[in-house]
Amino acid sequence: MRLTIGLVALGLWSVCAAGPASTQPYLPGLDDLIQRGELKVGMFTYDASPMVTTGKNGEATGYDAEIAATIAKALGVKLTIVRTEDTAQGVIDQVARGDVDIGVSYLTRTVDRAREVLFTRPYLTQDLMLLVNRVHAAQHGGKCPTAEEFVAELRDVPVGVAKGSAYAARLVAIDPQADLTPFDTFPEMMDALRAGTIVHSFQGDLVARHYLADNPSMRVFAMLCDIPEWKENIAIAVNGNEQALVPFLDVLLDQIHITTEGDTVSLTTEPWAY
């Protein structure tokens, strides 16, 4: 199925076209950031299209980059994207250390991570997905595994996950002896799935569908299996010292929606609300 990315960009710039009202006082905490004049945003180095991608000149692109730009614009400060960490957990640690103010990097909101950083409300809620090697599936009943079957097979069936991701942490929490293989990039994981080195890859709906739409040949070798019982919330991680940012970002995220329908991913805003 062809992928269509519907970008309704009306809002992203117009949302904050006027910038912050200079005559109004700011909340304590926000004031310091405004005075500093710079918002440092952490993003991981690998691509998780369509959320985190890299442009032709090496610049950060994708929906998360657009959300980060919107936030900086709303605060009236300069945006600096820091891409030095190669995993999602690395970005969380980066935010926790205060190397960056916030992390906008397709970050899953988990209880473990909430011990390190603050989280905004989710700007995306999605199902978790398995991509299953079709040959293995054909030789084992030909059906998508249920959540229970997937968990029961974790020790016997090799599963690919993004390195340092919430997916890896979650599966280890379920079964410490799970046969997990971490991958630096999603394409590497797909190559392993196609070759049969791993039988399942475990990831969010958005990235899985987007990859299949961009790489239709992978559909021949991999079967997309939804685990409807398992969902994840994607949110912005905020440094603990920037508490005032969280309610501000929550209000801003009220107007930003990422929706999926089949293979169509859309980023929309409600500019009238501003």
Partner 1 sequence: MILSKVADPKVIFVSTIVGGVFGWLVPAAGLVLKPLGELYIAALSISIVPLMMTALVSGVGRMLRQPSLRKSFPRFAIVYLLTLLVPATIAIVTGLLLEPGANLSSDAVARLGQQLAATTTTHTAAGLSDFLIAIIPSNIFQDLSAENFAAIVIFSLLLGIGLGVAEAPATDQTLSVMHSLYVAFSRIFEWIMKGLAIGLFCLMAGVAATVDVTMFESLISFIGAFYAAGITLFVIYAFLLLYFGRVGGLRSLAEVRQPLTVSFLANNPFIAVRPAIDTLVNRFHVQDDEADAVLPFGIIASQHGQIINFILLTMFLANVYGIQLSAGQLATLAIGGTIGGVAVVGEGPALAPALTPILGSVGVPPDLGAVVLTTTEQIVGPMVSLLTVFSALTLVLLGRGAPSRQQSLKPTEAHTEAKP
Does residue 4 interact with partner 1 by CB under 8 A?
no
CA distances from 126 to 116, 152, 205, 216, 228 (A): 23, 23, 6, 22, 9
In this structure, the chain runs to a length of 274
Residue showing tokens 């519907």: 6
The span of 54-62, 104-112, 208-216, 242-250 binding partner 1 (CB under 8 A) equals: 208-216
Considering the complex, state which of residue 212 and residue 252 has its C-beta at the smaller distance from partner 1.
212
Q: What is the DSSP letter of 106?
A: E
C-beta closer to partner 1: residue 139 or 177 = 139
Beta pairing, strands 200-204 & 180-183:
unpaired
Select from 217, 229, 231, 247 the one that contacts partner 1 (CB under 8 A). 217
The least CB distance from residue 103 to partner 1, in Å, is 33
Please report whether residue 261 would count as binding partner 1 according to CB under 8 A. Answer: no
The binder of partner 1 chosen from 23, 24, 35, 139 (CB under 8 A) = 139
Q: Which of 9, 10, 138, 152 binds partner 1 (CB under 8 A)?
A: 138
Runs of H (alpha helix) within the chain: 10-14, 30-36, 63-75, 88-97, 111-114, 134-138, 147-152, 166-174, 186-195, 205-214, 217-221, 245-254
Out of 9, 135, 173, 273, the only residue in the binding site for partner 1 (CB under 8 A) is 135
By CB under 8 A, tell whether 35 contacts partner 1.
no
Q: Which of 6, 37, 216, 240 binds partner 1 (CB under 8 A)?
A: 216
